[in-house]
Amino acid sequence: MGFTSAWIVLAALGGIVSIPRGIHGACLYQGTLFENNSSWKPDSCHDCSCLGDIVVCTTTRCPKPQCDFQKGEWLRITPGKCCPECVPQSQFSCLHEGKTYGPDSQWHGSNCSVCTCLRGRVSCTPRPCATVHCRRDERPVINFGECCAKCEQDGNSCFLNASSADP
């Protein structure tokens, strides 16, 4: 059973497509009566039709946007819409380390930072790191290419405990 068939069965069982007695050539959907062979969008991501007294709803198919990120376009889903769209660089876009970022976007910058584009301005803050509690024989170390400290064995933990005795 496909998605559409399952949806129709569930809708019929849930009572959202039952037709009041004496009415033919129409569909009842969430309390609203629709004519046979009519179509409507109950929300931004679904398309519904009344076909032969039966409501059939499918998910909206979105085209694949072809954004030109090199020219500063960015991808967004506008509130109230279902499909993503390419948006050109605006006065609120940000240029940082040779890349363009859209308004309200967030990314990992260099030097262990998290950057945000707010109204055309870049703001970078250090990446948060967990507090490190090392044992006595360990010390906190930040390795090359990493941002946060971790505990590693202290190289100075070996010692010689010998008494000096003359032969």
Domain boundaries, the chain: 3-59
Q: What phi and psi, each to the nearest 5 degrees, are found at residue 89? A: -60, 140
Other residues' Cβ atoms within 10 Å of the Cβ of residue 11? 20
* CATH entry 2.40.160 includes domain 3-59: no
Low-confidence residues of the chain: pLDDT under 50: 1-19, 157-161, 164-167
pLDDT digits (tens, 9 = 90+) for 44-77: 899 999 998 899 999 988 888 888 877 767 787 8
Which phi and psi angles does 69 have, rounded to 5°?
A: -65, -30
pLDDT score for 23: 58
- Please tell me the predicted confidence (pLDDT) of residue 12: 45
The pLDDT, as a whole number, for residue 34 is 93
